Amino acid sequence: MTKFEELKLPDTAPVERTKTTAFFKQIRARSLTLTEGLTPEDMVLQSMEDASPVKWHLAHTSWFFEQFILREHVADYVSPDDRFAFLFNSYYVKMGPRHTRSQRGMISQPDVDAVLVYRAHVDAAMLALLGKNGADAALVEYLTTLGCHHEMQHQELLITDLLHALSHNPLLPVYREPIPGPKPSVPVTKWIGHPGGLMEIGHDGVAFAYDCEAPRHKTYLYPFRLASRLVTNRDWISFMAAGGYSAPEYWLSDGWATCAREGWDAPLYWWQQDEHWWSYSLQGPQPVDLDAPVVHVSYYEADAFARWSGKRLPTEAEWEVVAQDYPVKGNFLENGAFRPTAPDCPEDTQMWGDVWEWTQSPFTPYPGFKAPEGAVGEYNGKFMCNQFVLRGGSCATPIAQMRPSYRTFFYPHHRWQMLGLRLADDL
Nearest to 166 by CA among 296, 47, 32, 40: 47
pLDDT digits (tens, 9 = 90+) for 193-246: 999 999 999 999 888 999 999 999 999 999 999 999 999 999 999 999 999 999
Structural contact between residues 278 and 272, judged by C-beta atoms closer than 8 angstroms: yes
Please list the residues that pair with 201 across neighbouring strands.
Answer: 217
Got the DSSP string for 208-270?
---GGG-S-EEEEE-SEEEESSPPBHHHHHHHHHTTGGG-GGGS-HHHHHHHHHHT-SSSTTE
pLDDT digits (tens, 9 = 90+) for 390-418: 999 999 999 999 999 999 999 999 999 99
| Domain boundaries 17-166, CATH class | mainly alpha
- The span from the CA of 138 to the CA of 55, in Å, is 31
Single-letter residue type at 134: G
SS3 392: coil
Domain with CATH 3.90.1580.10 in the chain: 191-426
Taking residue 394's Cβ as centre, other Cβ atoms within 10 Å add up to 30
pLDDT value at residue 281: 97
Confidence of residue 4 (pLDDT cuts 50, 70, 90): very low
Structural contact between residues 420 and 331, judged by C-beta atoms closer than 8 angstroms: no
Residue 212: CA count within 13 A, CB half-sphere: 19
Dmax (CA) of the chain:
67
Please list the residues that pair with 287 across neighbouring strands.
Answer: 278
Confidence of residue 380 (pLDDT cuts 50, 70, 90): confident
Taking residue 166's Cβ as centre, other Cβ atoms within 10 Å add up to 21
Confidence of residue 13 (pLDDT cuts 50, 70, 90): very low
Domain with CATH 1.20.120 in the chain: 17-166
Residue 48 scores a pLDDT above 70: yes
Mean pLDDT of the chain, nearest integer: 92
Average pLDDT (330-341) is 95
Burial class (CB in 10 A: 0-12, 13-18, 19+), 88: buried
- The span from the CA of 60 to the CA of 211, in Å, is 21
Confidence of residue 134 (pLDDT cuts 50, 70, 90): confident
Structural contact between residues 408 and 294, judged by C-beta atoms closer than 8 angstroms: no
- Between the alpha carbon of residue 337 and those of residues 235, 282, 334, 340, 396, the distances in Å are 22, 8, 8, 8, 9
pLDDT digits (tens, 9 = 90+) for 283-321: 999 999 999 999 999 999 999 999 999 999 999 999 999
DSSP letter at 177?
P
pLDDT value at residue 186: 81
pLDDT digits (tens, 9 = 90+) for 56-111: 999 999 999 999 999 999 999 999 999 999 999 988 877 888 999 999 999 999 99
Q: Who contacts 402 (Cβ-Cβ below 8 Å, separation ≥6)?
A: 328, 332, 352, 353, 392, 393
| Domain boundaries 191-426, CATH class | alpha beta
- Between the alpha carbon of residue 419 and those of residues 98, 202, 225, 353, 358, the distances in Å are 29, 22, 21, 11, 7
Q: Who contacts 104 (Cβ-Cβ below 8 Å, separation ≥6)?
A: 46, 52, 53, 56
Residue 180 scores a pLDDT above 90: no
What percent of the chain is modeled with pLDDT above 70?
94
Taking residue 52's Cβ as centre, other Cβ atoms within 10 Å add up to 24
